[in-house]
Structures are given as structure tokens and as C-alpha cells.
Structure 1
Amino acid sequence: MRWRQRPEGSNWGDFGPDDQLGRANLIGPEQVRKGALEVREGVSLCLSLPLDYPGGNGLNPRRHPPVLRPTRRGDVPYVNFPLGHVYTGATDVISDDQALLSLQYSTQWDSLAHVGALFDPEGDGRLRTVYYNGYRGHEHILGPQDHGLPARGDDGAPARYQPVCCEGRASDESVALALGVEHLAVKGMQGRGVLVDLARAYGMDFRDIGYDELMRAMERGGATVEPGDMLLLRTGFAGLVLSMQRQPDAHRLHHSCAALDGGDEKLLQWITDSGIAALIADNYAVERHPPRRVPEDGAPYPVLPLHEHCLFKLGLPLGELWYLEELADRLHASGRTRFLLTAPPLRLPGAVGSPVTPIATL
């Protein structure tokens, strides 16, 4: 057993001691059939931004747009390459490429290995790096460095610490031996989607959405969710990103549109109680980041409280930067909120996130 005590409000162990799917377990044959019953028009809509959006790295300095390059045989690039150079008399012409890609640059899934927490799973007073269902950092989620735990100075502020290279690991190698995104790929992530149009309810102004605001938006749009549904939130953010033509105005984007208030305990409890199997938004982090409410007494706190609640405690996958404009308009015009959603990530073993090309079928 990887843990003797689980975080308060978590569901660790509820789907089995070795579960790596979390709330995606709630998507079963019944939920897929419910999604299929929403197909009336036979219209398919792509819910992904082009994967080279937002553009640049102004929104996140760690993430860069994809770079396409030709594959090579020796020093020869295989783009417009005539195979007659290899096979005498051949008439084929080959183009073949590869990508250097940040897996969470654009429209994406967060796997359950994306966000963990410093937690005491053994009940012995020692904090450890832990992810959903007790899987451990540096044991199940491996990186090129063991960053250690940030000690606290006399003033209570985190002290700086020196990362230590993990023996036997390459300097830039990382892999999720557990909780990787490939588990969501095998699951398929297909079922019934439910859209809540926050932009239609509240406009494009900067606004935090707590439980009360979410309930009002759902009531206004006639949206309800059942266990196993995948909930999608349109804020207008991705549409704004697309309008900027790969030249994102970071200040404007960070001061526009609604985002969930991850510090609203009532909202987090509703996410638990609702039984939704995934939470998806068209904005950068689903929740407001950085948070506008932090403890004034210096007590430990999560910078991403909704991520901690969903990924770490519940095993609830998060989708970010999905493009929902056309879907929202079509659903509103027909008085609907539900549709068939098909959104498997890449089956890339060991990845902690993945680009996705979701398809809504109406």
C-alpha cells in the first residue's frame, strides 16, 4: 500500500488500490450511449485550436510553440525527396517530418501526473512528493533532478534549496511510470459532454466564478450534469487567443474573461459531489491563476487549488485551451447543452500531458 492516510476530501482507493484513471472510471458504456443519443444532426466540430497557438511563449515561458522539421537519412532531409535516389527507376516522392512539441502548449489534457502535492501519506509527519492515489514523485514520476523539499526559514518563507541530479537519469529525461496520459488514451475519453457558456452569461470581462456564479450560469443555459458527464466551460478566452493571430497580448488575456475560483470551497465540493468525469475549459488553466486569495498568516497553501483538488485528490482530468466558440453558438441556436464528445489524448507512454483534437458530434 502506497499510503496509510489519504488527503481529506480525496477518493484515493475508491476505484482500487492501483487505480490510475480516477474519475474517468465513471465513463462507461452507459455514458457513451448517452453521448451517442445526443447525435441528431450528424455534424462534427473540431474543438482544438491550431497547435501553434497561442504563439510565442509570453503566456508561459516554459512552453514553446511546435517546431516542424524533416526527418533525415544521414544528412539528407526527406521533404520532396525522390526515391529514385535510393531505388533505381523509382518515381515516388517522399515528404516526412517530425515535431519538437511542448505537450501542453495549446489545446491539451492534463494527466493525473501533472500536479501532485507535498503530503504525509504515511502519517509519520514527513512530507513527500505525492500524486493521485499515493503514487510517488521520484519513484513513479521520474525526472532528471530530485528537487528536495523546500525548507522554511525563520521568517516562514521558503528557503532556497539545491536540486540534486538523480543517479542514472539523463540530464533532460522524464517519464511517468504511473498516471501517464496513455491511460486516458486507452480509456478513449468518449462520452457525453455538457457545455456551460460562461461568456454568454457574464460577458468577456475579468471575473472569478465560484459555486454561486456557476449555478446561475447553468440555470440560465438549462445545463445539468450527471455522474460520468464531461463538463466544458466556455469563457471566450480561446476565441480571444485565436483573434490575436499568434501574437498574444499577455496583459489583455490575463485581464479578460471568466475563470473558476479555485479557492471557493463550495465550488470544490460541488465538483466532488457532481460526479463529473472530466473538467474542461477554453482558458489557460481552468482556474484563476495566480490566485487572488492567499493565506495572510503564511500558512502552506496550493497555488493551484482547483488542480490540487481535481488531479491530486479526485483523479479528475483537466482540459485546457479548448476551442468552444462554434460549438457554443450551435448549441445555443438549437437550445441544447449536450453532445457526444470524443477526445482521446496521444497514447504516449510516460507523458504527463498531451495535445488533443477533441470532436463534438451534434
Structure 2
Amino acid sequence: MPTYAELLTRHPPGSSWGVFDRDPERGTANFAGPAEVAAAAASVERGAVFSLDHALDAFDPPMARARSAPRHEVVAAHENSRDDVLREFWLQATSQVDGLRHRRASGHGFYNGVPDEDVRAGHPALGVQRWAEKPIVGRGVVVDVEGLLAAEGTPLDHRWGPALDVDVLDRALAAQGERVRPGDLVLVHTGWARWFLDADDERRAEVREARRATGFRQTRDLPAWLWDHRVALLATDTFAVEVLPVATDTFLRTAPEDGGMVHQELIAKLGVPLGELWDLTALVADSREHQRWDALVVVKPLHLVGGVGSPPNATALR
């Protein structure tokens, strides 16, 4: 398996296109294979279960201004019958996993060179159903960035959307006495989602209008860290994984449509399933209480053929 430095010599630079022979459209989820899943099952000891999804309408309005919270309607054909429907259901308006058709690599194409014309509703290419047909399952590792920075005397002030450097992951893992193993699902806790949901309407409107959110700085350090650790999935409790507004011009030339965001590098080039706005609060509280940072994690998005993204339907078990 090539290193990230070696991937930079490929076309497109920094891509894993063609690296995975089996199930290539699952991307780095392939790092969590049968052996990793079997080993992860050993994380279940107490029978404790944690949902990692916020409610579908928790973020109302969502941070992304083009999206809206769904409207739930209950209907009845007669007095002894009930049915329901969700209207305006944006699949990435709350806790979500970004599918591999969520971003296209500027000047190169979709992951693995999938033709543009195949990325349409109803066509299976790169759809989230790939992770529903074969869910992403493995050892989840909580990285408590919020706890680390508070202990270091530099607590996060989410109102201003601080940028995180990748070395904070190594520092947090060291403080926890934990490490990332190949095939792990890395769950980064910053406290952002809980802060946003607990904020008053004025504060939420302020950060939403400014499109300002805590996240990782846009450098090659993040894709390098994920690939070289063989991470199967990266999920955070932040709006976009990366900091907004964009903090560097590293990818401004290669991702001009996204203003230099690192999303294209992670999704369209590396093939990383990205989780955003996950609910990690209860899992982190349990981790701190028991000083236990791993769990068996199951991620099974909606079985929507050709889906771009989906609620993760993520569950952690200990």
C-alpha cells in the first residue's frame, strides 16, 4: 500500500484512484476489512449502546443556507391507519456521512475517474448505497480534542471558529493513552455541535451568516494523517470537518470552486467517508468516565441508490 507521499506522485496527485482492487467505490472504508471488524467486536464488553446521530430536524435552520430542516407529516387513510412522509428532506442537513459523489476533483473528475454522466439520481456509481449494502463497521476511536485543549489551558471558543492543526490529534491520543490502528473509524470530538445547539438564536444566526465553524486547517497534513494511519472513516461533531472560512490558500488552485476547501482532497481524491455533525456527547461522557476510548461502531447510511449523502445511522457499542 503506497504512502501518502507516494500518492502525491500519482494522477491526480494525492489520489487513491485504482489502489483498491476490491469494492473500489467504498474508498477507504475498505481499510476496515473482515479482520478489523472481528477485532473491533472485542470492544463490546458492557452492552452499552450509543446513538451518534442528532435528530433529523435538530439543526433548524441548518448551517448550510441552501438546506432546510425536513417537515414531517403524519397522514391517515382511515381512523385505524397512520402513515408519514418527510418533505424537503435534505440528506446532509443534520448528522451525515458524505458519499464519494459529494465532491468532484477540479480538473480531474469524480473518485476513481467515474464519468460525470454516471453521477445522477438512480445510477449506482459512487452512491451511498455502497455503504448500506456493506455497512462501514470497525473499531471507533474517540479523539477528545475538546478535553485536551481545556486541560492545556486553551479551551475552544466556538463562536470564533478556531482552526485546528492535525498535531492536536496525536496530542489528544497520547493524553488518552490511545493510538489509531489500521482500519479504525476516527471520531473527533470538539464540542462544536453541542455548543451550536445550546446557543441562543442570535448566536446561531451570527455564526451561520458568517459561515464560521471550528474545524481542521486546510493543509496536506490532514489527508496525509488519515491515509498513512489507514483510517476507514473520519467523523467529527463539526459542521464541515474543516475550518470555515477557509484558513489557508493551500488548495485554492486545485479547488477554486470550493474556495480552497480540503473536501476535494479527502472525498474525490482519497475516497474518505466524511462524517459531519455527529452526536458524540454521550459517547465522550462515557469515555471520560471509564477512561475507555474505543468502541465497536456501525455506520449504515440510507440504502438510496445514487445518494450523495445520508444520515449515518451510526451506533457505538461498548
TM over 0.5: yes
- Whether the 8 Å contact between 1:176 and 1:352 is mirrored in structure 2 is no
Equivalent positions of 1:11-90 (< 5 A) are 11-16=16-21, 19-57=24-62, 59-70=63-74, 77-78=75-76, 81-82=78-79
Q: Which residue of 2 aligns with 1:110?
A: 98
More helix by share: 2
Count of residues paired in the alignment: 297
TM-score, normalising length: structure 1? 0.76
CA spacing shift, 1:180–1:257, aligned 2, 3 Å: closer
Q: Which residue of 1 aligns with 2:111?
A: 132
* Residue among 174, 177, 181 paired with 2:128: 181
CA spacing shift, 1:255–1:265, aligned 2, 3 Å: same
Q: Which residue of 2 aligns with 1:163?
A: none
* Residue among 228, 243, 248 paired with 1:293: 248
* Residue among 296, 306, 321 paired with 2:277: 321
Q: Aligned-pair distance for 1:36?
A: 1.1
Local SS of the residue matching 2:18: coil
Look up the equivalent residue of 1:224 and give its one-letter code.
R
CA spacing shift, 1:284–1:64, aligned 2, 3 Å: same
> Unpaired runs of 5+ in structure 2?
1-9, 150-154
Q: Which residue of 1 aligns with 2:152?
A: none
Look up the equivalent residue of 1:243 and give its one-letter code.
D
TM-score, normalising length: structure 2? 0.86
Look up the equivalent residue of 2:264 and give its one-letter code.
E
Q: Which residue of 2 aligns with 1:148?
A: none
Q: Which residue of 1 aligns with 2:81?
A: 94
CA spacing shift, 1:232–1:11, aligned 2, 3 Å: same
1:174-228: CA deviation from partner (whole Å, max 9, x where unpaired): 4554100000111211111001011111233242112222221221222311111
Q: Aligned-pair distance for 1:272?
A: 1.6
* Residue among 167, 184, 193 paired with 2:140: 193
**Structure 1: distance between partners of 2:124 and 2:179:** 36
Q: Which residue of 1 aligns with 2:315?
A: 359
- Whether the 8 Å contact between 1:197 and 1:233 is mirrored in structure 2 is yes
Q: Which residue of 1 aligns with 2:7?
A: none
Identity %: 32
Local SS of the residue matching 1:249: helix
- Whether the 8 Å contact between 1:115 and 1:312 is mirrored in structure 2 is yes
CA spacing shift, 1:266–1:66, aligned 2, 3 Å: same
Q: Aligned-pair distance for 1:268?
A: 2.4
Q: Aligned-pair distance for 1:266?
A: 2.6
1:219-240: CA deviation from partner (whole Å, max 9, x where unpaired): 1222311111100101101212
The structure whose Rg is larger is: 1
- Whether the 8 Å contact between 1:55 and 1:248 is mirrored in structure 2 is no
